[in-house]
Amino acid sequence: MSKFAENLVRDLWDGLHCKCEETANPSICEVVEAIDALDADQRTMITLFGPNGEHLVVGGGNGQYVCFISTSDDELWNLKDEHAVCENPVLLNVGGQQGDYLPKNVVDRDMIVQAATEFFDGGRRANSLGWERQN
C-alpha cells in the first residue's frame, strides 16, 4: 500500500521573516521529526498535503499542539482532547502568530503523531481520536 501524503511543508521563522521548507514524498520518520522540531518559536507549523488538496496542519510545539484536517470537499475538522478540564484559553504560537486556543483543542504529542500517521497513510482522521467539525 502506498502512502497518501505527497508533500510536507515546515515553517522556519527569523523574527518577522518566514522561510518555508518543502519535502516532496516525505517518509513518516520525516513527518515525526518535523513534529518533534516544533518549538512554538522558530518552528510553529507543519502541513501535510494529500493528492486532492486535502491537508493536515499541526501547530504549536513543546508538548502543546493544535491540529486540523481540511478534506477534499472543504470540510474542516479540529482534533480535540475529550478529557480536557481546563477552561482558560491556551496561548500558542501557530504560523508565526500567537493566539488563544480552546483547551479542548490543545493536545499532546502522542495524539498529534497518531493523527499525522493516520493522515499520512490514508488521508483519514484517526477514528480513535476525538474530532469536531468546524461550522
With a cut of 80, say whether residue 86 has pLDDT above it.
no
CB 62 within 8 A of CB 39: yes
pTM: predicted TM-score of the whole model, two decimal places: 0.94
Q: How far is CA 93 from the centre of its chain?
A: 13
Task: Tell me what pLDDT residue 1 has.
Answer: 43
Name the grid cell of 99.
493566539
Give CA–CA dist 135/124, Å, rounded: 19
User: Is-contact 31 97, C-beta < 8 A?
Assistant: no
Q: What share of the chain is helix, strand, coil (3-state, %, to 5)?
A: 20, 40, 40
Q: What is the crossing angle of helices 109-122 and 28-37, to 10°?
A: 150
Average pLDDT value for residue range 116-127: 93
| Inter-residue contact 42 to 13 (CB < 8 Å) | yes
What's the pLDDT at 85?
78
pLDDT mean over 105-127 = 95
